[in-house]
Structures are given as C-alpha cells and as structure tokens.
Amino acid sequence: MFDMQAPWWEFAVRAAIVYLVLLVMVRITGKRTVGQFTPFDLIVVMLLSEGVSGALHGGDESVPAGLIVAATLVLLDVVIAFATSRSQKADAILQGNPVLVGRDGVIYDDVLKRQRVPRSDLEKALRGADCQLEDMHMAILEADGNINIMKKQP
C-alpha cells in the first residue's frame, strides 16, 4: 500500500506530461468544450479521465504514488492560474480570447462554424437575454464558451 514501484519524481513527470497534453488538446477543441457540456462532451471527459489514469500512475496503485500525482496536478493548476492572472499573453494562450459572432442583427455563421459552435447556441443566448435578433447590437463568444448578448441602445 505504501511501497512505490518507481521513483517519486517519475509520478510528477507523468502527471505533468498528461496535464499539459490534455490542456493543449482541450484548447485545440475550441471554446465549446469549456462552455456548457453536451452529453457527448461529458462522455469524452469521463473517458479521457479513464484513458489517462494508467499513464498517470504507471500501474503503481500505492498511496504515495496517488498523492504525488494529485499534488502535481494541483500544483500545475495553481501555476497556470498564477500565470494567467499575471500575464495577458499567457491568459490569451491558455484560455483564449473573446470572439465577435454577431453584430447589428447579423449572425456571423462562418465565425460560428470556425469556433465549432452551433447556431442554436447563439439563438439560445438571444432568448436568454430576452433579445430579438434585430435588437442585437453584439454577440460575443467568451473564452469560457458562454455567449454574451448586448442589446441595441434605444
């Protein structure tokens, strides 16, 4: 239970590699992944966690190995949060930038496609903002995947 099969640093390196590769993969998939999950997104996240678990601990089920992996993942999360709070460039690289997806009643379908966001998500945001399409001043896809609607001023 407390006997590790590999040196402690190997677990930290494994966790760091898996964390960074998954971070890049999530960034590549676009803003929709980090916004509200669809059932398909949830399944992918669950399968990802199962798929990388072996890579994290390398078959070592000991308590110290699990704690080293957990501590490394938390530490990496803290480092990323620190970097993004101190640097706009790091924030843009790691979290992304907002994208204009509509203006003055016109929806930019090409931008929605490029961001892999269905038009229905924008229409839902319009309904949520109690805004008709013709009353929309701007629709912005935020870095976290949410769509904010700004109404035209009367």
Q: What is the pLDDT of residues 19-40, one digit of tens each?
A: 888 888 877 776 654 556 667 6
DSSP structural state of residue 128: H
Same structural domain for residues 15 and 89? yes
Q: For 105, which DSSP code?
A: T
Kindly state whether residue 3 falls inside one of the protein's structural domains.
no
Average pLDDT over residues 111-123: 92
Both 42 and 54 in a single domain? yes
76 falls within a domain: yes
Report the predicted TM-score, pTM, of the whole model to 2 decimal places.
0.68
Please report whether residue 62 resides in a domain. yes
Collapsing DSSP to helix, strand or coil, 99 comes out as: strand
pLDDT at 124: 94
Using DSSP's 3-state secondary structure scheme, residue 25 falls into: helix
* Cα(139)–Cα(106) distance, integer angstroms: 9
Same domain, 126 and 90: no
Which domain covers residue 79, as residue numbers? 8-95
- B/e letters for 35-52, b = 16+ CB within 10 Å, e = fewer, are beeeeeeeeeeeeeeeeb
What is the arithmetic mean of pLDDT over 100-112? 96
* Assigned domain for 88 exists: yes
